[in-house]
Structure 1
Amino acid sequence: MVFALEMIASSRFSGLIAGLGVAGLTLGFALQDVAKNCVAGYILHVLLHQPFGIGHTISVGDYIGTVLEISLRTTEMQTLDG
């Protein structure tokens, strides 16, 4: 914190910005596999342990309808209104 304040006081923002950029890239690369595993785990959970199936009546927000199709990224339903 003191180092950052000294850099700001001496008008050397470029070093601080570069350092933050490198830190952000490093953190992004480090967490890339973790994020992929979390997304894959969520998708597998939804596909293997579906809380609903085709033909079930579900409610999503203000909509109520019957599930027509379940795919990897979407669930298609027909509302009671058509």
Structure 2
Amino acid sequence: MEAKLIAVLILLPVAAVVIYAGLHEYRRYKSEGRANYGLAYDERTGTTYVTGIPEDEDAYDPEDFDPSDYDELKNKKEAEDDKA
């Protein structure tokens, strides 16, 4: 195989995903309007993820995050489970 053909075969799936994501976002924009994306914090798992944030809510600020809070919540839940 030629090097150009190999490069095209490698880049083709990536290009397809980018085009699909662009079309999906464009359709969402046409139906729902402008979106405000930001980090959201899931207290249950202690993780953050990127999602659409409603206009009346603030996005998650990583500088306000204290990792020890998650451990305390986890330990508190385990203590409650032990009591039950």
Q: Same fold (TM over 0.5)?
A: no
Higher relative contact order (CA 8 A, sep 6+): 2
The structure carrying a bigger strand percent of its residues is 1
TM-score (norm 2): 0.31
Larger radius of gyration: 1
